[in-house]
Structure 1
Amino acid sequence: MKLIIKYFASIREQIGIEHETVDIDAPHLTVDALRARLASRNARMADALSEGLPVRTAVNHELVAGTFVMRQDSEVAFFPPVTGG
């Protein structure tokens, strides 16, 4: 499954990349499973995307829960929660 991954704000700063395309050999993949795979790559990814951190996720420009199942060629965006004021 090919996915376009985009990283925003402090997550982008921590890992040092803005976007990437990944190809994962899986027929079905949840947002949580993708996040875990990415976090397992290296220490910087783990620090930015570890399960305990408040990270928001959008798939194809819609906010989704961790249980959301992605499809081929989805665009996935990870970003920290945003506060206003």
Structure 2
Amino acid sequence: MLTIVYFAWVREAIGQDEEQVERPGPNATVADLVESLAARGGGYAEALGDPARLRAAIDQRFVSLDTPIGDAREVALFPPVTGG
């Protein structure tokens, strides 16, 4: 299983902080995961339908969406981080 953690407005749209999902195929990227989650519709489509609005981390390390998930334990999805 793979833990998906949601932050900020992504969490609000989906309606939960995290969930467990079946691990995607061995060559799946974060973008592939986002696409499959967005296909669920509803809040998932709202939050994840435009991947350009997202940032990701695998096992608490920032990554690009084209990064393979591999044997990661956790993928976090969140809006771009701003300073201030």
Taking structure 1 as the reference length, what is the TM-score of the superposition? 0.88
Sort the Cα spacing of 1:25 and 1:53 in 2 relative to 1 into closer, same or farther, 3 A. Answer: closer
- 1:28 maps to which residue? 27
* Corresponding residue SS for 2:81: coil
- 1:76 maps to which residue? 75
User: In 1, are the aligned partners of 2:34 and 2:51 still within 8 Å (CA)?
Assistant: no
The runs of 5 or more residues in structure 2 that have no matched partner are: none
User: Aligned pairs, how many?
Assistant: 84
The runs of 5 or more residues in structure 1 that have no matched partner are: none
Of all paired residues, the percent bearing the same amino acid is: 40
Taking structure 2 as the reference length, what is the TM-score of the superposition? 0.89
* Corresponding residue SS for 1:82: coil
- Pairwise CA RMSD: 1.5
User: In 2, are the aligned partners of 1:36 and 1:51 still within 8 Å (CA)?
Assistant: no
Q: Which amino acid aligns with 1:40?
A: A
Q: Alpha-carbon deviations, 1:22-77, whole Å to 9, x = none? A: 01452221000000000000121011011354111000011111111112352000
Sort the Cα spacing of 1:83 and 1:45 in 2 relative to 1 into closer, same or farther, 3 A. Answer: same
